[in-house]
Structure 1
């Protein structure tokens, strides 16, 4: 499994009603062992999360099921992330 960083940037179509479905989505990923960490940016512009997947295509498939993406509330950018320093 590789780690993929999903950067989330809110669009003009963002509506706060998508926050709870997004959190439910993240809770499901966590329960399935596909989510390592997640959190929002303190400036309210979006957030990021780390998914575990076999490939970039797999990570993209996971992230594109996020209600933030499916509703157009946010644009997602997904990168394979090689962690070089960690605590």
Structure 2
């Protein structure tokens, strides 16, 4: 398993009603052991989360199931991330 950083940047189509379904999505990933951490940007432009997956393709497929992506509320960027130091 590798770690992948998912950056979620709000688009002009962002609607606050997507926030709760997004949180439910993250809770599901967390409960399944795939979500390592998540959080929002303090300037309100989006957020990021770290997921565990077998490959970049698998991580991208997983992230693209996020309601932020499926509704067009945010653009997602997925990058493999070699975490070298963490608490």
TM band (smaller chain): over 0.9
Structure 1 residue runs of 4 or more that deviate by more than 6 Å after TM superposition: none
Shift of 1:85: 2.3
- Structure 2 length-normalised TM: 0.98
Number of the residue aligned with 1:68: 68
Shift of 1:84: 1.7
Shift of 1:38: 0.3
Shift of 1:86: 2.4
| Number of residue pairs matched by the alignment | 87
Number of the residue aligned with 2:48: 48
Number of the residue aligned with 1:10: 10
Number of the residue aligned with 2:86: 86
Q: Does 1:24 align with 2:24?
A: yes
- Structure 1 length-normalised TM: 0.98
Distance 2:40 2:29 in 1: 17
1:27-75 Cα deviation digits (max 9, x unpaired): 0000111100000000000000000000000000100000000000000
Q: Which runs of 5+ in 1 are unaligned?
A: none
Q: Which runs of 5+ in 2 are unaligned?
A: none
